[in-house]
Amino acid sequence: MTPEAIIQLEDVTKVYGAGDAQVTALKGLSLSIEAGAFIAIMGPSGSGKSTLMNIAGCLDRPTEGRYRLAGEDVSGMNKAQLAHIRNRKIGFVFQSFNLLPRATALKNALLPLMYNRHAPRGRSEREARAREALAAVGLAERLHHFPNQLSGGQQQRVAIARALINDPALILADEPTGNLDSQSSAEIMGLLHELHARGCTIVMITHEADIAAHAQRTIHMRDGRVVDLPDQRPPAAPPERTLSDPERSRRAKWQSKGAALVAERR
Ligand SMILES: Nc1ncnc2c1ncn2[C@@H]1O[C@H](COP(=O)(O)OP(=O)(O)O)[C@@H](O)[C@H]1O
Ligand SMILES: [Mg+2]
């Protein structure tokens, strides 16, 4: 095993259901993701992306095979042990935000602290931490808003604050921009870049090539397996072409948006 791998899957199989209804969602998948990477996962609907995410996120267990998270074999752990690891190490971001509709932004963001036995116990300390996380995603002025009083982009930022609150090593995002307009998508990608720059490993499922282009590496899935596809990104442009390279200028645009977001928050 590579010492610096945060996710190490070896020959993982996942079977749902039984008998005639049986579906094999992962078919002997092996994958290694290095700590600190920014990875995109692409593949057609039904290829097993969310199943992979659920296993990587300790929300589910492989039927067969081995999963090591930051060097620790979690394949045989029970649900309580998995919940503990998940809470300490992993932040989740979903396409549909998954916020509690009757809870304010503040309450939603501090939710993971309730399950973290190492978190501060006092309400005011917890709220202070949630306020800090919400300020970090640019929502200092929206602490007491309910999800239905926020735009899609703002709801996703609450979800990112919630994902950050336990200071996770790994962020798993399943189509984080799937329900967002392009401006909000840009903001969310700016935040993910910022988290990555802070040392967080980011694994993001997307079906949009321009979103995947933010990642350092794209993993392609087909039919429950990782497939080798040539990297479809244009090769790095020679210096004299730099300014006209659409890939680079688009990246520069994203980066400046991310930087602007950070500046706005300071
Ligand atoms: N909870 C489940 N029970 C039964 N089958 C499932 C379940 N979750 C996913 N599947 C099946 O597993 C396969 C992979 O699904 P999924 O991982 O959601 O793919 P993707 O996210 O790439 O669209 C699909 O055939 C899907 O129908
Ligand atoms: Mg899916």
Provide the pLDDT for residue 121.
85
CB atoms within 10 A of CB 127: 17
Ligand 1 pocket, 48 CB below 6 A?
Answer: yes
Q: Given a cut of 50, is residue 257 above it in pLDDT?
A: no
Residue 141 has pLDDT above 70, yes or no: yes
pLDDT at site 231:
60
Query: What is the per-residue pLDDT across 159-191, written as a single tens digit (0 to 9) for each?
Result: 999 999 999 999 999 999 999 999 999 999 999
CATH code of the domain made up of 37-50+89-265 = 3.40.50.300
Which ligand is the nearest neighbour of the Cα of 18? 1
pLDDT exceeds 90 at position 244: no
What is the per-residue pLDDT for 120? 87
Q: Which atom of ligand 1 is nearest to the CA of 47?
A: 22
178 in Cβ contact with 95 (< 8 Å): yes
* 83-137: pLDDT as tens digits: 999 999 999 999 999 999 999 999 999 999 988 888 888 899 999 999 999 999 9
Atom 5 (ligand 1) nearest CA: 16
pLDDT at 24 over 50: yes
Which residue, judged by its Cα, is nearest atom 16 of ligand 1? 48
pLDDT at 228: 84
- Over residues 214-243, mean pLDDT: 74
Look at residue 266 in the predicted model and tell me its pLDDT: 44
- The answer on pLDDT for 192 being more than 90 is yes
CB of 34 within 8 A of CB of 150? Answer: no
Q: Which ligand has the minimum distance to the alpha carbon of residue 16? A: 1
Of residues 77 and 241, more confidence is placed in 77
User: The pTM is what?
Assistant: 0.84
Average pLDDT over residues 54-74: 96
Tell whether the model's pLDDT for residue 262 goes beyond 50: no
Atom of ligand 1 nearest to the CA of 24: 12
